[in-house]
Amino acid sequence: MKVIDLSMPIESLKTPMFPTYPKPLKTIFSTIETHGFNSNVWIFVEHTSTHVDAPIHFIKDGDTIDKIPVDTYVGWATVLDFSNVPPKHEISSEELEERIRSLPFRVEKGWILLLYTGYSYKAGTDEWYNHPGLSEDACRYLLKLGVKAIGIDAPSPDHEPFPAHRILLPRGVAIYENLINLDKLINKKFLFIGLPLKLVEGTASPVRAVAVLM
């Protein structure tokens, strides 16, 4: 068994963030010298680093992160390669279907599909925001396919008007953002685990996502 870390570190005042969000902040709460033990207080937006979105992020009365069935975040997965597409490219249903058909195994209902774009290596630069994203027809294809989660190695799986968030989240498809190391898993079958914190009424949660290769 081999475990590959798919999670971006959370570093105080340094973690790259979506433009609307502040960077995370860590402050010392106690020290061994003064209190007998070390501890820190962290302040960060739910959508920090590698994280998973809940429906309420885009849907007014959608489920919060603590209400989502935990098995949504664990399942068989694979990575599709979109690293050769141009900036801000809209991935079509035809492109998804072509890559899925070329896999040496069948993608079943309830799988998790992850998109490798190479943009995790551009985090913190202006180019990072020019990542590819899913088109509306690609999102509807994913619903027909029956996936329970998707993810990408970029700050979002879409651009305004955010078709992935508006089409997938209301139908219970979880969305992972800011994954890393997906290039190590292209066209491979593995067990994906990306459990969120059980934040009551949370719109998202950072995760420690991993791939388990059997």
> Token pair for residue 8?
């971006």
89 annotated active-site? no
Q: How far apart are CA 63 and CA 74, in angstroms?
A: 18
Q: How far apart are CA 166 and CA 40, in angstroms?
A: 36
The gap from C-alpha 9 to its chain's centroid, in whole angstroms, comes to 14
| Residue showing tokens 């971006």 | 8
Terminal-residue alpha carbon distance, the chain: 5
Q: Is 57 helix (H, G, I), strand (E, B) or coil?
A: helix
> Token pair for residue 3?
């475990």
- Whether 75 and 61 have beta carbons less than 8 Å apart is answered as no
Mode of pairing for the β-strands spanning 149-152 and 74-81: unpaired
The DSSP call for residue 125 is: S
> Token pair for residue 208?
């420690």
**Pick the catalytic residue: 47, 57, 131, 165?**
57
- CA-nearest of 121, 180, 176, 113 to 146 is 113
Residues in a beta bridge with 80:
115
Residues serving a catalytic function are: 57
